[in-house]
Each structure stands twice: as C-alpha cells, then as structure tokens.
Amino acid sequence: MDRPIRETFLPYGRQWIDEEDINSVIRVLRGDYLTTGPFISTFEQELANYVGAKYAVAFSNGTAALHGACFAAGIGEGDEVITTPLTFAASSNCILYQGGLPVFADIDERTLNIDPKEIEKKITEKTKAIIPVHFTGNPAPLDEIYKIANKHDLVVIEDAAHALGATYKQKKIGSKSDMTMFSFHPVKHITSGEGGIITTDDKEYYEKLLQFRSHGITRDPDKMVEDHGPWYYEMQFLGYNYRMTDIQAALGSSQLKKVDEFLNLRKKYVSMYNDGLKEIKDITIPHINKEGSSSWHLYVIRLHLENLTGNRKEIYNALHQENIGVNVHYIPVYLLPYYQDLGYKKGLCPHAEKLYEEIITLPLFPAMTEKDVVDVIKAVKKVLDCYSK
C-alpha cells in the first residue's frame, strides 16, 4: 500500500492561540471578575468598531446570539422565517426556539448562497424575517435580499458565523443589516472558546438583546415599574442566561487584534489552492464573489461525480487515509431526522440536495503552513487520479 501523503493528521480547522491570548485570560483569572465584567463591554465595542456598527451584544455562543436576534425581531408562534438549507442547524433552530416556522429557500448553485428568486417564491402573509447565511464567508446578495425585505416589511438577520472580516460592496459584513451574528467557535476566524455576538445600529434591538441574554432582567430605573431601592431589579419577560464570561471576552479581544493577519493567511492559502487545483477537470473550485470579498472560513470543492468511479464517501475516506482531515458542510438542515419528524420532505430544495452529495471541505485555517496546503493539493490530485474514469 502507498504511504500516505502526510505522516500526521491535518484537521479541517483549528484555533491559533498565542502567549498574548493566554496572558489575557490569565489577567482575568487574577482579577475580580470571571463572569460578567469589564472585558465584555470592551470586546463588544471593539467588535462593533471593527465591523462598523453602532452596537454589539455578546452571547455565550453563536446559537444563543441568533436566538436573541429572533426574539428582538419579534418572531413568535406561527411566524415564518426564510433561510437557507445549506447551513448548520442553528440558523433555523433559532426560529423554532421562538415558536416560528423555518421556511427553506434553495441556493444559487454558483455562489452556494441563498437565491433571492427562491426567497421571493416562499414569502407569504406569515413571513416575518429572512436569515441569509454568508456560506463559507462569501457574502450573500444583500442588495437583492434587502430589496425583498423592504418590499414586504421583513427583518433581516444575517448569519455571519463564517464571515467576520468579509465585505460586500466595500462595506464590512455587520455594518448594514438589522442584526448580524458572528460566531467565535474555535474553527472560526477568531475564537473566545465558545461565543457569539450580534451587531446592530438599532437601539431598540440593542436594548432588547441586552435584557434577553440576562433572564429578561433590568436594573434600569427608567424601565422598571417599581423601585424598592438600590438592590431592586425586575424580570420583565422570559429571557435566558446567555451571558458571555469575562474569560471568553478577554480571549476574544486578544484574538480580534490579530484578525486581519488571520484573514490574510486564509486568503494566501486560498490563492495557493486555486492555483494548485484549477486545472483539475474532476472538481469545481469555489466561486469568487465580485460584489465583495470572502473571509474564507471554508474552502469547499465540488466533485464532478459523473467523471469519477467513486462516490463522495469513498473519496472522503480516501483523503482521510492520506491524513487530510476533509469535512462536509453541510447536510441540508431539513434532511436531519428532527426536521423530518416536523414534516419537512426530501426534494424541497433540489439544488442544495444535489450539492450536498458532491461537496468536500478542504482544511483551511491560519495555523496551517504552506507545506500543509501543498500536501492537501497533492492528496486531492492523488485521490482523484485513482478515481478518474
């Protein structure tokens, strides 16, 4: 048997933590606050400044942040919210948490983002919001989406878990929408361990989000019905304990200082992938969005299975045998068993379903080396040569 391309396993994604990050966390551990303290507001302001938003509200994770956005948008029982099936389950679970109904609109096969023409087809009198996802960090067509939203008086909540640092028409993602969510999971552009944030320019959304993440409680005398004294607080609606800790915020703040360096490394490795893979007839490399710049969270190739003797699973396994930790993003959400039990049927979004059978995510993260990228390219060529007709 041939020796694998690599002796050690290369994951598809991994955090990059340095001594500065570690020391930031240590300072919190030696201080007075571990949970909600001064690092939270510092991190929020820094992130808002980075993307060009007025406000930011940090949450314990990206899913909690999306839930908060749905609450602030007023999504409730029976409301319909349109989103893409090509995403992680959190993008639609947040709708269910509020008693709403996720409505899946198919993707554009070229960009892999939600197709505005499909959004328009799915709008009913019950539609309340749209949650576009900037898949892989490639900006969704926001102008077309906002045109639809304005026409039908809909809220737009951008799921930008993949898109910190991405731009659309020279403006950073997070500077335009009603609300935008960023994720700080370890495989994302920066990490706070777990964590998420909502950016917005709307003060009313901002205040709702702050209260929602902390049990629905306020200590603001101007908002309280009564005032028993300086200890008094009021729970005014059913919120959640979705607060980020100061430990997380300190790590996130330290990481944010390096975000542009991380983005430049991702773009460098993408350029290497594009150059090394563009001549392979058995795959399609990612589409480059001319209306913006991707932040390249993921590098997804599409297999031309009609030209190959094996299926995606065989090729996936063969790449793992080469110690290349490829992955698949994503199973269309409505094909998951829970959603099938809710009544969603196969065939709902044929473009997304076909794409799912053909895609593989290659490793991409700042802590990679150029040699790692070369190894991936060699492994892809080796495996596809074995399966090429």
Query: Using one digit for the tens of pLDDT, what is the confidence trace for 228-282?
Result: 988 888 999 999 999 999 999 999 999 999 999 999 999 999 999 999 999 999 9
Task: Report the alpha-carbon distance of residue 278 to residue 298 in Å, rounded.
Answer: 17
Q: What is the pLDDT of residues 345-363, one digit of tens each?
A: 999 999 999 999 999 999 9
Active site residue 188: yes
Mutual angle of helices 246-256 and 19-29, in 10-degree steps: 150
Handedness of CA 156, 157, 160, 165 (dihedral sign): positive
pTM for the whole structure:
0.96
Topology agreement, domain 19-256 and domain 259-387 = no
- Give me the catalytic one of 128, 172, 176, 188: 188
Q: Where are the domains of the chain?
A: 19-256, 259-387
CA 110 to chain centre: 19
Q: Which fold has domain 259-387?
A: Aspartate Aminotransferase, domain 1 (3.90.1150)
For position 2, what pLDDT does the model report? 84
Beta-carbon contacts of 125 under 8 Å, excluding residues fewer than 6 positions away, are none
| pLDDT at residue 231, rounded to an integer | 85
Residues with Cβ < 8 Å from 283, sequence gap 6 or more? Answer: 277, 301, 302, 303, 304, 380, 384
Mean pLDDT (the chain, rounded): 96
DSSP line for 193-232: SS-EEEEES-HHHHHHHHHHTBTTEE--TTT-S---STT-
Distance CA 67, CA 72 (A): 9
Residue 335 is given by DSSP the state: G
Query: What is the mean pLDDT, run by run of 10 residues, along the chain of 389 residues?
Result: 89 97 97 91 98 98 98 98 98 98 97 98 98 98 97 98 97 94 97 98 97 94 87 93 97 98 98 97 92 96 96 97 98 98 98 98 98 98 94
For the domain with range 19-256, which CATH number is right: 1.10.645.10, 3.40.640.10, 3.40.630.30, 3.40.50.360? 3.40.640.10
